[in-house]
A and B are shown apart, each in its own frame.
Chain A
Amino acid sequence: MLYRTAGQFKTSYKADQALFPVKQDAILLGVILVFAWVVFPLAASEFTFQTLLIPILIYALAAMGLNILTGYAGQLSLGTAAFMGVGAYACYKMVTLMPWMNPIVAILLSGVFSAGVGVAFGIPSLRIKGFYLAIATLAAQFFLVWLFEKWAWLYNYNASGAIQVPNLEMFGVYVAGPQADSLVQYYVVLAIVSVMTMLCINLTRGTLGRTWKATRDVDIAAELIGINLMKSKLTAFMVSSYIVGVAGALFVFMWRGAAEPNLFDIPLSFRILFIAIIGGLGSILGNYLGAILIVGLPVVLGTLPAALGVPIASSMVEHINVMMVGALIIFFLIIEPHGLAQLWRLIREKLIIWPFPH
């Protein structure tokens, strides 16, 4: 009876287009937001911030960016990590060239650079489709990582070839760098990711969202009903790469603290693709569910055996983790190809009619 929607009538299209037409959804979201903004920050340890909360949010954001491109607009990309790299390096250059710059502004601006690069590498999508395009995005992946390594200006000619996040201050508080507090960083990440999620929800449910989905489902029909495919695909690349770039800047500035070029190599691209797919392509919620699973699994695997009194070497944990993720991907694809979000949708449908069978 908890999820009963009967009796909640809509009297205007405006009400029907509200973000949460069903009251219970709004309540559930409210509870989650209270946990995210109040309960977790009060209760979480340094370990929880660094291994779960912050990375889950950042990975969810990166997956959301990819999901716009692949899940909504139907353009499979295997180069996500490289675009995260563009965001991270752009942010690094901005804060080192212009140290007076507000760090959050720098992070949000760094997405502009990755959006530009994303559009450039999106141009082939106008001629190339499907797997051919996926391979083409690998060109971006390999070329950009090579560039991060060879273009010394990007990392300010450091001998190490890596970028180190300097201490960055905002209103007298360190928000990035070695002296920044995890709690502060968590709030910065949470705020940015929340706002971006909101914008993504709006974009995907409106005109642009329908344009993308039409392009994804039947591109020829989409063009014949008046959709400019070039515009549709390139805006998808632009929006997607922007979000991915911001996620990349957060990844380095709010979490890792430093980065080498190979951090943005293909395994990271795949990890984000898994999150998007296991979470559910064409879903915003799914990115969070997928990120919780992919980020949470190694933590559980790493702490559970010790808690049970069966110590396993950390390298073994890593190997088991890789294997488990592989098995889980196959498992989820078999039981629900549309991902965790779809699973939740089905559960919710059941809850709406519960306790009656129909």
Chain B
Amino acid sequence: MAKLSERYKLTQSQKMMVFILSMSLYGLSNMITELIPEVYIGPIEFSVEYFAFIPLTLCILFHPLYAAIGASVGEIIFGELMLGQFGGFGELEKFIAFSLAMYVAGTFVRDPKNKIQVGIAAMLGVIIHQFISMTVDVLKVWVGVEELEVVPGLAESVVIIEGFYFLNDIFFSGILFALLPTVYLVPRLYGKIEPLLGMKPRERTDRYSLKEVIGPRLVAGGLVLASLAFMFEFLSETDFNPVDWEADLGGGLETTLIWVSIGMAFLIAVSVIAVMVKRRRDNMPPGPGGVAS
């Protein structure tokens, strides 16, 4: 019985296959979700956040580490870079949060045919991911707005809004686009998709360990990043900003500044519309080309 405890191992090429599969499919789904419009009913937003079922299904069926990383890379390339929305360093946080969540969800499932396990794993993945991104979003506002204490209601409202989004995402996106499709797809694909990649299906006895992901390098890197963030925050609180605008700006100037900012936003909006109109007009005579000048 020594064979049963053996870990599920893949060759280099098989890892690459899982990676490419996960990357392309999740990337494609990201593009589609970008196109589906959001529906607002009052403050409640019914938007398709992401098709989480694709990475979840792949993480459950294949090696979760490569499927999870592939999905995150796919999101960055297709969903951000190609649409010109690459957020730079902000993507790092998304990458880590999403890969971690999907990986944990994948390792949770021992038996892909057990629907209850698959369902729990799917919700677990979504909850972990949304919780991390909620925390990061709250921290962003808390770090970004220095005069947080001065403004009444801002700190609380951020937490409330993000918390609300969190629940909204879990109950709407989570159930419709993670739980139901994953429970539907995993048992159907199990045993069918693996031979196409030239590997045997996962078995109940396969085990992964978290050690593969949380190595000493990751822990050290995380510590360094956290301390850097703390240091910057500390600097910005003390010496970075010697001019205290609250003290020397009167009410009049403040409103002018507000109007300047509003004007700026307005200017951007107007110029964008103008460019769009112009481009449309340029495109009209030669027909559908899209490449102006």
* A and B associate in one complex: no
